[in-house]
Structure 1
Amino acid sequence: MADERYDISITKEYLIRNKAKLLYISSATYSGDWLSTPHTHYCSELFYVLEGIGQFQVEDNIFPVKANDLIIINPNISHTELGLRSHPMKYIVLGIEGLELSSENDHSNFCIVNFKEIKDTMVFYLQMMLKEIETRAPGHEAICQDLMEILIVLFGRQTNFSTILTPANKKASHLCDSVRRYLDQNCEEDITLEQLAKFSHVNKYYLVHAFTDEYGISPINYLMQARVKKAEKLLATTDYSMSVISSSCGFASSGYFSQTFKKITGLSPSAYRKKSKSEHEANN
């Protein structure tokens, strides 16, 4: 009787379990018939193009994509897909927490790799993941997670990129930094905690916990501070009325603006404006 035994020694680079987590799976067909706008996620996203052709916008650059292309986007990188009506693009998307791209020779936050040579294998695993998530049979979560890990290893074989397992605190930092920048850039808008949770693709309770742990202040209180900071600049550099400044900074009323401003700065808006002008005159 012939008997062959093959021992396996798994290296640290393949110890993915309990570090990278599959968050979601989705499939879509895009032909340019709806408006796709750039957006970010706190997790990494993997797009596999099953058929068709199109384009992919990553930050300010646009790249052509075709069947069997795998596009991987690191967390907090602005991106969107751009389909063509003549050749609708069908693709599958995976959202993965705790995984980032890294390369010694390329510091890009994304990559596009064609898997034509092993397309049957790639499509088999992806379609199996979709089937598992759609049927939701017992243990489907574990099977999807295992299939994701196989895909990550296959990706590593095809490129000069390596995958970096992100520590939990770094994952939270990515999330919090993305939310903080969003609040700074849109503080005048009517932003709710539910909207922030939808923007960051996490549970709102987790968002509050992570953000508060990172910055020592809740997202909504940070939003108030961002509005007051914008109001300080307008009070010091313009002659706009209190009502104009109040509305342009996102406050529901002049009274609420004055109350919040004084609570955070210790001065009323009018007192702050007077103090700022006095300091400016003294320095000139």
Structure 2
Amino acid sequence: MRHSIIAGTPEILSGAFIYGSKEAPFYFPLHQHETNAEIFLILEGEGEFRVDGRRYRGKAGNLLMYNRGIWHEERSTSDKFAAVYVAYSGLRLQGMPADFLSGSAQAAMLELHEHFLPIKKLFVEMIEEWNSPLPESADVANGLLRALTGRLVRLLHYTAEDLVKKRPHKETVHLARRYMEENYPFDVTLETLANLTYTNPYHFIHVFKAETGMSPIQYLIRYRIEVAKQYLESTRLPMAEIAEKVGYKSDTYFQNLFKKTTGMSPGQYRAASRA
């Protein structure tokens, strides 16, 4: 029997071609999707992308993966830009959250190299079928999506030997990150994370830092600050309330930590984001 980690197949929610130019560049502000994921393939030109707090410079032949719930921002930077995207739900990979195509420790952008042309062909045909009025076009499009995600799962989870060897550590880190992302408003301790991942605190810190480049506490602070930025940009909530929403009982401590992390106070950040 052939091995597969795909436990649930996805279905398309929407999909389209995207274009940008020097006069009318493509831009989609920072946002997230709570109930679905997206795949974004650059066909022509270049762009800048922010995914889960990381920044990427993409070009033709690069594919970006926005897992469910992940914050992302997109903009074209070249005179001519073309891309294609699909939004989907229902994908389940063993050991990963729903609609997660890539692991949290993996980069959100994939350089396709020799795989670009066959994946481009699948992607373009899928979107053309999805937007076609012909009979059975939705079924054909969803079949092509399953072929596309199957190809990408191969590239992401089977091709690199070192990735296979490190997978247990990556799963440990992913579980801890997911817990922090879901429980950041509350008290998250090192002991809780170590117990959650069935490791001792010292080993857990070592594994987490080796995989992410930062300690668990540094990651938690970074995530809380990112959430605070969303509140500062999109609401008029007072600082004390934002501090409490992201897990800090002391407004003063929150404001000092925000400035230490970002280089500006929360008030300065709010003003700059609305300038």
Give the alignment's TM-score, normalised by structure 1.
0.49
Larger radius of gyration: 1
Whether 1:30 and 2:30 are equivalent positions in the alignment is no
The counterpart of 1:152, out of the listed 144, 149, 152, is 149
Identity %: 19
Partner of 2:249: none
Q: 1:48 deviation in Å?
A: 0.6
> Deviation string for 1:100-136 (max 9, x for gaps)?
0354xxx337521112202221111111112212322
Q: Given the alignment of the two structures, is residue 21 of structure 1 paired with residue 11 of structure 2, yes or no?
A: yes
Distance change (3 Å), C-alpha of 1:90 and 1:39: same
After superposition, where does 1:110-125 map in structure 2 within 5 Å?
111-125=108-122
- Asked whether the 8 Å contact 1:16–1:149 carries over to 2, the reply is no
Q: Could you give the per-residue CA deviations for residues 244-265 of structure 1, whole angstroms, max 9, x where no partner exists?
A: xxxxxxxxxxxxxxxxxxxxxx
Alignment partner, residue 270 of structure 2: none
Within 2, Cα distance between the matches of 1:25 and 1:128?
11
Shift of 1:60: 3.5
**Partner of 1:136: helix, strand, or coil?**
coil
What displacement does 1:138 show? 1.1
Measure, in 1, the Cα distance between the counterparts of 2:70 and 2:148. 22
The structural deviation recorded for 1:38 is 0.7
For residues 139 and 69 of structure 1, the distance between their equivalents in structure 2, rounded to whole angstroms, comes to: 30
Counting matched residue pairs gives: 165
In structure 2, the residue matched to 1:93 is 85
String of CA shifts for 1:157-184, please: whole Å, max 9, x gaps: 222489x9xxxxxxxxx9xxxxxx89x9
Runs of at least 5 residues in structure 2 that lack an aligned partner in the other structure: 91-98, 159-166, 172-181, 183-226, 246-275
1:69-148 matches, within 5 Å, as 69-86=62-79, 88-98=80-90, 99-103=99-103, 107-108=104-105, 111-148=108-145
Distance 1:188 1:16, change over 3 A: same
Q: How many angstroms apart in 2 are the aligned matches of 1:157 and 1:34?
A: 30
Q: Is the 8 A contact 2:102 2:156 kept in 1?
A: no
Q: Deviations over 1:77-121 (max 9, x none)?
A: 1112121143x2211111121320354xxx337521112202221
Question: Which whole-Å CA distance do the structure 2 matches of 1:25 and 1:95 have between them?
Answer: 6
Give 2:164's aligned residue.
Answer: none
Which residue pairs with 1:41 in the alignment? 33
Q: What are the equivalent positions in structure 2 for 1:1-284 lying under 5 Å apart?
A: 9-17=1-9, 20-31=10-21, 33=25, 35-42=27-34, 43-86=36-79, 88-98=80-90, 99-103=99-103, 107-108=104-105, 111-160=108-157, 185=231
Is the 8 Å Cα contact of residues 46 and 60 (structure 2) preserved in structure 1?
A: yes
TM-score by length of 2: 0.50
Kindly tell me: are residues 54 and 188 of structure 1, through their superposed partners in 2, closer, same or farther at Cα, counting changes over 3 Å? closer
Q: State the AA in 2 paired with 1:89.
A: F
* Matching residue's letter, 1:119: F
Call closer, same or farther: CA 1:102–1:61 in 2, change over 3 Å: closer
Unaligned runs of 5+ in 1: 1-8, 165-173, 175-180, 190-225, 231-284
Secondary structure at the residue paired with 2:135?
coil
Deviation at 1:37, TM superposition (A): 1.2
